[in-house]
Each structure stands twice: as structure tokens, then as C-alpha cells.
Structure 1
């Protein structure tokens, strides 16, 4: 693949590396794993909902000037976000894969590929040509003689690459006791507490399966009143089973040698409250409520889900992408990468109408933006902005009130 050749060209040759020194004294060698809990359907459903919602985001490279005005520059970054971060993925695919890798490993590495081009003012600038989410099975952190941090990534194909850490987009989940990696002390998913709940839930499900099979398989005991060897008993049982399967009526004939004794099995299953508790424990771990999990939520429930679960990821994505993809100078003059939620499409129709009324009266939305909120296509001349005359500039409030007071007292308000 072209990505492998690109990595080979970018490898630091002729340099000598030593293990990076961490404050906690641990060797910075981390293996990526964490597949144990992902056999659970509840876990997969929770992650799938989060990944699906994040995949709807619209990443943008924006610039905010000193007056607070936001513009979208025509940059190579915006081109990648619009048409696809690489030749294999759309932007939606890319974001979904990033989130799945993040929850699988509590760390995800993304490599931005770029080339230097000369701008109009004669300066060399970076033109980004691809963004690739990586899934190494091991990451070693190294230092060169100058103390620069590098990361050596090992892949299941047998390839390994050493890349400056400053050029890697590294997104972490539960970044706590480890100095570099997310997860536990060893830079791996710390799912011990969740695994206990899942083991209990699995034992309950297995018990249900066995109880159902038992209750449906053993229906009674056939007592044979004569002495028979094993082969004779087998023939008698097969004859009885044939009667069971071929009888058209509810009456089953049995000769004097046999006596059928029905067995009434009453397996005890786990009550629904216990099952609900086990399920809710997993949902709380991932911050996904039952309403979100069942896709039957209102605006308030989704807003709570967004603020508690999605928003920290959205903010983290913007910061993680901005740091390696933008230069220090670009960051200083207001450049950043932001992940926008498209047009508040999660809102109900009534909520959208209220939003259009409140924000539209301020003149903040064009006619086409209002139509887009309701799912309609743009119209000719729809860039017009209208606002209500029931509002006044705050700087004119005092003058307006003084003029009203003067008019009330019999004066003029020509001012």
C-alpha cells in the first residue's frame, strides 16, 4: 500500500535512539489489546451509538480574527475533510473508525501525510494529502540524542516505523496514571471493573439458555414394566417417540408394559430488575442511557447524552488535530480545527421552529440556513438575512429612553 512506502520514506535514518524516560519509572513499551469485553452485545451497541453520532460531525479548519470573526480558509485540511481523508475512507468512515479504535485500545494514532509547497510569499508551507488512522499492536517511545520524542509503531504485517511524536495525532481515553498513553498504568484498556459485570451477565444468559433447553427437552419418563436389556429399551423408547411425533390427537396409546409419567419442569429465571441492573451498569460505563440505546429519545435526553458523553470527545478531537497539523504561528493567529455538529439536526421539529424564531429574529440565520434546518433545499436569493424590529442596539438604549422621556414631558425627540 502507498501508506507503507510513505512511512518508509519518512523513517529517521542514521539516528540512534534510547528508551524515553518516564517520570513513573515504567518502560515506555505499550501493547495494544482489549478485545475481551467486546464480545458483549451491550458493549458493542453502546460503542456503535457513540461512533455513529461522532461520524456525523463536520470537521473544519477555521480562523478567528482579533474581532471574533470566524472564516473558513481554503486550506488542504478543509479539502481532506470535505472529500475524504484518504483514498479508502469518506469522512464519516474515518471518524467512525477513529472512535472504534479509541474505545478498543483507549488510544488511537492518526498519521497526517503532507508535502512542502512554496506559497505566493515564497515561504514553504505544508500541504496535507492524507489522514490515516493506525492500529499498531505495540508502541515504543524513544528519544534521540537531542531529547526529541519519537514513537516506534509495530504492525501485524511485520512492518515497524519510527516517527516524531509531534507529527502524530494521538487521542487518548481515560488518560490518568500513565504519562503518555490512555488507559491503565501499562497503557492498555483498564476494563477490570466492567469485565466483572459482563461475566455475571454472561453467566445469567447461559443459565437462561440451559433452563429453556431443559424445559423444552424433557417432557416425561417412560416406565417399562418388564426386564429388558439396553437394546430392547432403546427400541421401546424409539417406538414411544414415534408415537409422540406421529400422533394426530392428544391421546397417546400405551400398552400394558409401559407407563408414561409426565415431568413438569419449572426453571427459575433471573427477575427483570436484576437483568435491568446488569444492563444499566454497562450503559453507565459508556454514558449511554436506555432511551439513547433504544433510539427513542427526546431533545432533552439527547442533549444530556451530548453534553456528558459526546462533547468531551468532540472537544478532544479538535485539540488533538489542531496541535500537530497547525504550526505554532497558525495557532497564535487564531487557526484551529473544530468538529461541528451539523445544523442541530437532532432537534425535533418544534425545537427547530423555536430555534429559527429566536435566532432568526436576531438576524443570525439566512433564509437558506432556516430552510436547511427544516430539511428543505436552498432557494434563489436565500442568502438574505432578516431580523425583527423589536430589538435595539445596546449602545442606543440610553439615548432611546432619554428621547422617550423628553417626549413624555412635552419636549421634542428630534435627536
Structure 2
């Protein structure tokens, strides 16, 4: 039994689908992967990898009291084959490449949901069966799988034309073509730099046959021995000149513009790609590129795993990140001191900022407040730490 059989245990419609699910925009609800192969570009792959790497650090938490067995399994991982980091990395990559990412539930033999898995179909259709929309997936190996739409999750980017799927990345095609042309120009420039070409006037030859013989002799004597050296031109040659080719390569300013187009499209920058962003720079990257993914994934996963009643009772999936970890050491020290002194954060929360494990036996759950701080009661009373007396002010 392969991975396909382990994931798609839910039987599809017994009969033929009863047409496509009707949408408001009148577009046929069909998703097809774009053949632009943007992931094969080094710059684009680096941008996608930067986002996916940071997104894979998100902490997925399950809250509420609904489905305790499922919650226990999700706390250890999304499924039996992946960690949460691997799941989020692949989901982010699929979303950036296709602008649509599908999450399907993993079910056991009793049709109970035991986890979630990101899938990469070559095509997905929303078909209707018994007045209910179904997602019908087709994969590269030729397999088909169908599952009710309410059990699945769909994440999108650049969603405009279709009611359910994101638009493809054809808007990036002109930039991709420029990157391809630029790479070809650099390659041709390297080849031309290792090649020497000359042109010369050959005197006192009137026969085409004699010219061909002299050309073959010159090539044989000077260019085919593989020993290197210098080229010797007899006095039958005149007006000897080297041919210099100059392949077109865009200048640094134009190349910077091409890179900026890719950075703008994927919401990254050079500091993020080279792991130099921290503090306010990383916070800006988090808010622009990571937080929106975390919010959308949290909403999609919550809706597909919990019923409306369970969601109303505050059962949810939430992806969060400790942004304080990306501050400089000086900023971390200042935040740690200020938050601990005022009793806002306990010792374990402070240790998390420094990537340290919690203290054993719950020792780090205690809060510390410095002695010169006072507690103001709702009745106007003031209590100083260590004092047993309370006085009003």
C-alpha cells in the first residue's frame, strides 16, 4: 500500500459527477498547475525557500476541548510521515509556486480524521454530487481521488478570477524571461572570453583550392597540437586583426531591478535571503510575509478540522511565532529585564526568548516583581512588595 492509498481512504462518488459546481464568476472551477517552471530559477527558488524556511518555524497549537484524541495526535505532528516543520515548509512552497495549496485530511480505517497532509495535484476540479461539492484531484502518476470539499482546506494567493483557486504566476513571466536571457548572456560571455579569433588578408593566392590548402595547413600547424604557444604568421599574411565579441549582459542597475521584481513578488529582500534580517527588519518581514500565511493556515485548518459548534466553543488550530527570538542580544536583554521586573513574563517565557528549555518541575512558572514596584488595587489601595500593610493614596 502506497502513500496515496494511505491518505485517500474515503470512497469517492459512487456514480458519475453531476457536473461542475456552479460559481458566482461563471468560471469553471478547475485548478491546473502552471507550466512556467518558476521553481527552476535560482533566484525564485531562493526567495521561495526563504519564506518557507521561516514559515516552517511557526509553532502549531491546538486549543479547546473538542476532539481530544485528534488534538493529542496533532500536538506531535500533522501526520505519521512529516513533522510540523516539514509540513509547513512544503505547504508554503506549494502555495508560492502554484498560488493554490490543498490540505487533505488523513483518515483511519474507521473514517476518523487522524491528521492533515499537503497534496500537489496536477489538476483539481470542484464537481457536484448529490447536491454537495466534491474536490476531485488528479495526480502526476495518473491517480484520481475525490473527497467532500467541506473536509478539505484550500489556501490561495492572488485570488481574483476564480471563487476558490488563486491565479497562476503568469504575471512573473516577463521577469523570468529576462532572468533566462541574462543567464544565457553570462554563459556566452564566459565562452567567448576563452576563445581567440583572428582575421587576416592572405596575399598572392588566386586559386580557391590553394586558399583552402593554406587554411588547413595553418590550422594543423598552430591549433591542433594542443601544446600551446604562439601563432606564427608568415609574410603572406597582412592586416592581421583580432575579432572581439561583446555578448550583451545587463548592467548592475538593470540586474538589481530584475532581482527587485522577484523580491517584490514574493515579499522578501536581500537581508532575508542572506539571513541578515533581525530586530525591526525581521519583524517587518514577519508581518508582511509570514503572519498572513499563519493567519490563513490557522483559519483553514480550524474550519476543516472542527465543526461550527466546536469553533464557537473556541476549539481552534493556531500557528504562532515568538518574534522576540529575532531581536539582537542587547534588545533581548532589555526586554527580558523589563518584562521580568514587572511580572509580565515568567522565567520560562524569558528563557524561551533565549532559546533555552523550561526549568524542571514547573520552577519557571513563577513571576518576579522588583521591590520598588507597587500594586494598585481597584479600590485605590497600594501594596508594596514585601509589605503586609496596605494604605490608600
Fold match, TM over 0.5?
yes
Residues 136 and 153, structure 1, Cα contact 8 Å, conserved in 2: yes
How many residues in Structure 1 have an aligned counterpart in Structure 2? 380
State how 1:25-174 maps to structure 2 within 5 Å: 25-63=26-64, 75-114=68-107, 128-145=113-130, 147-174=131-158
Distance 1:262 1:397 in 2: 98
Gaps of 5+ in 1: 64-71, 118-125, 184-188, 402-411
1:335-364 CA-to-partner distances (Å, cap 9, x unmatched) read: 111112147322221221122123222324
Distance 1:153 1:93 in 2: 22
1:386, distance to aligned residue in structure 2 (A): 1.4
Summarize the Cα distance change of 1:226–1:238 in structure 2 as closer, same or farther, 3 Å threshold.
farther
Distance 2:166 2:181 in 1: 30
Distance 1:396 1:336 in 2: 34
Partner of 2:240: 261
1:359-386 CA-to-partner distances (Å, cap 9, x unmatched) read: 2223243323323322344444333321
1:101-121 CA-to-partner distances (Å, cap 9, x unmatched) read: 11122111111124599xxxx
Determine which of 217, 235, 246 is the counterpart of 2:195. Answer: 217
Distance 1:180 1:21 in 2: 11
Deviates more, 1:159-168 or 1:33-42: 33-42
Deviates more, 1:386-395 or 1:87-96: 386-395
State how 1:350-361 maps to structure 2 within 5 Å: 350-361=330-341
Distance 2:70 2:334 in 1: 34
SS at match of 2:326: coil
SS at match of 2:31: strand
Distance 1:201 1:15 in 2: 45
State how 1:15-414 maps to structure 2 within 5 Å: 17-63=18-64, 75-114=68-107, 128-145=113-130, 147-183=131-167, 189=168, 191-221=169-199, 224-225=202-203, 227=205, 228-241=210-223, 245-247=227-229, 254-258=233-237, 261-263=240-242, 265=244, 267=246, 269-342=249-322, 344-380=324-360, 381-396=363-378, 398-400=380-382, 413=391
Distance 2:139 2:250 in 1: 44
Per the normalisation by structure 2, the TM-score is 0.84
1:222, distance to aligned residue in structure 2 (A): 5.3
Distance 1:389 1:83 in 2: 41
1:181, distance to aligned residue in structure 2 (A): 1.2
Per the normalisation by structure 1, the TM-score is 0.80
Deviates more, 1:232-241 or 1:98-107: 232-241
Summarize the Cα distance change of 1:23–1:344 in structure 2 as closer, same or farther, 3 Å threshold.
same
CA RMSD across the alignment: 3.2
Distance 2:14 2:320 in 1: 40
Distance 1:194 1:132 in 2: 28
Summarize the Cα distance change of 1:298–1:324 in structure 2 as closer, same or farther, 3 Å threshold.
closer
Residues 243 and 252, structure 1, Cα contact 8 Å, conserved in 2: no
Residues 215 and 265, structure 1, Cα contact 8 Å, conserved in 2: no
Residues 36 and 170, structure 2, Cα contact 8 Å, conserved in 1: no
Distance 1:296 1:166 in 2: 42
Partner of 1:69: none
1:201-244 CA-to-partner distances (Å, cap 9, x unmatched) read: 32233233323422431253455545334244122123223689
SS at match of 1:85: coil
1:161-198 CA-to-partner distances (Å, cap 9, x unmatched) read: 22110000111112222111122xxxxx1x33321122
Distance 1:103 1:363 in 2: 41
Distance 1:279 1:306 in 2: 20
SS at match of 1:345: helix
Distance 2:186 2:392 in 1: 85
Residues 8 and 106, structure 2, Cα contact 8 Å, conserved in 1: no
Summarize the Cα distance change of 1:234–1:87 in structure 2 as closer, same or farther, 3 Å threshold.
farther
Gaps of 5+ in 2: 384-389
